[in-house]
Amino acid sequence: MEIIIGILRDYLIVINIFLAAIVIFFERKRPVYTLFWITILLLTSYFGFIMYLFFGMSFKKKNKLKRFYSRKFLKHTKFLITSNYIHLLRWKELIHYLEVVSNSKITFNNEIKIFNTGEDFFKDMTTNLLAAENEIKMEYFIFNDDELGSHFYNILTRKAAEGIKISLIVDGAGTRDLSKRRIKDLKTAGVDIGIFFPSYFPFLKIGNLRANYRDHRKLCIIDQKICYTGGLNIGDEYVGKGKLGSWRDTGLKVEGECVLEFEKEFMVSWNFVKNKLPTNRIDDLDAPKFPIKHEDSLVPIQVVSSGPNYEFRTIRDSILKMIIEAKKYIYIQTPYFIPDDTILDALKIAILSGVDVRVMIPSIPDHLFVYWANQSFYGEIINLGAKIYKYQDGFLHSKGVIVDDEIAAVGTANFDYRSFYQNFEINIMIYGIEVKKFKDRFYRDSNCSILISKDEYKNRGNVQKIKESICRLVAPIL
């Protein structure tokens, strides 16, 4: 037996060295990511290769998935410039970039409503779901089968019985507790459901080598007229009934031309989970006509999706561009503050250039590794003059970046490696007067937060410093 174990151990060492060579010569990842996996593979002979299979392998663009995630490239950008939108000239390069790399067209004829609690958000969503006349499309990372989840599953079942076309996508890892019985009942009722990267194994919910690439989006599209998105998944914790108590999040209800942009993104995911190619170009979708609003009430919005299938990290890059262009302030709300080196350096440059940088994170952790990594990263900017707030009135799950009263990036993406490089995410870029509403809410949340002083951070204990250092090492996969 000892001989067999010794042989297996030797083979595992060889396999790990082989995988380390693959990381160096073929994966072409970011240097910090490459060094992380080389360290793991060479120091953990027995299970390093298992970790790499599930968390390290690239989402290859040259496989069949490229058929579903291909994007056309635009030659130029055209957008409306009027007396009220002169400020868009400052962001024309960003608008152009997002259109070129992800076909994210800017639209103007839109309305937006902001929700700061799950209770209000889901109440409004319920009303419009029950009023749906033609179709409902939903895509969620987490769609639990608890009290809130059952409420919405029952609505979908009811609407399907009325003849409404229902299409539902749930993530195979995030919604791993969805029972076969519930899936069967939904299908029997007429709900068409697709699982994003389902498990290969009947008793292992995340038994898929692509489970590390998560469909982290949250979308509810009703009759091509209304879209609900933001940070709120469907589960009891998102209405304050979980172990973390009160839940502070940002939900968005958008109406108007931008809903078609969400529809396009949903259809790409739908074609993928159903393993079929679109019969028509996604850009040729028919859309309802919205009455043209007065110039003063137009809301410029750009829907921005990203994922490992893209050549460029569109959400990460758009946030980087916002930071670089900031003149007055940068306000960041996120449950996970784990920026990559480039964004961290950009924040430092902004601070040293006189830009008011403020970061708000939770005071209570939902994941301990992430919590201590948060501490490590904000420590690098607090000493330069950044203001760090820890939200006290429950758990902060809101995700947004606000710059200079002119632009806000809000949606499903956290401020971390996973959202920037690994997850399938969707944000909206909001330009113009609506941005002030997000800033005002940031100020209100600041009143429910404590401001961390430089001295407080400097005088933290040695045990805390050790935790921060360890957790920072695994930041690339958090």
Kindly state the DSSP code that residue 293 receives in the 8-state scheme. P
Instruction: Examine the residue annotation and report whether 223 is marked as an active-site residue of this protein.
Output: yes
- Which of 218, 253, 390, 467 is catalytic? The answer is 218
Q: Report whether 475 contacts 374 (CB < 8 A).
A: no
127-157 residues labelled b (16+ CB within 10 A) or e (exposed): ebbeebeeebbbbbbbbbbeebbeebbebbb
- Which of 137, 253, 397, 467 is catalytic? The answer is 397
Instruction: Examine the residue annotation and report whether 399 is marked as an active-site residue of this protein.
Output: yes
Q: Report whether 394 contacts 408 (CB < 8 A).
A: no
- Please state, in angstroms and rounded to a whole number, the distance separating the CA atoms of residues 362 and 373: 13
Amino acid identity of 350?
A
Residue 404, phi-psi category: left (phi > 0), alpha (psi -120 to 50), beta (remainder): left
Instruction: Examine the residue annotation and report whether 397 is marked as an active-site residue of this protein.
Output: yes
Q: Report whether 169 contacts 196 (CB < 8 A).
A: yes
- Which of 137, 159, 216, 390 is catalytic? The answer is 216
- Which of 171, 249, 317, 404 is catalytic? The answer is 404
Beta bridge partners of 256: 110
Q: Report whether 271 contacts 282 (CB < 8 A).
A: no
Q: Report whether 470 contacts 340 (CB < 8 A).
A: no
- Which of 177, 192, 223, 236 is catalytic? The answer is 223
- Please state, in angstroms and rounded to a whole number, the distance separating the CA atoms of residues 146 and 67: 36
Name every residue whose Cβ is closer than 8 Å to that of residue 318 and which is 6 or more positions away in sequence. Answer: 94, 97, 98, 304, 409, 427, 429
**The tokens 């971390």 sit on which residue?**
416
Q: 350 in helix, strand or coil? A: helix
Instruction: Examine the residue annotation and report whether 105 is marked as an active-site residue of this protein.
Output: no
- Please state, in angstroms and rounded to a whole number, the distance separating the CA atoms of residues 259 and 108: 11
- Which of 137, 264, 321, 399 is catalytic? The answer is 399
Q: 311 in helix, strand or coil? A: coil
* Strand 135-140, strand 165-171: pairing: parallel
Active-site residues: which are they? 216, 218, 223, 397, 399, 404
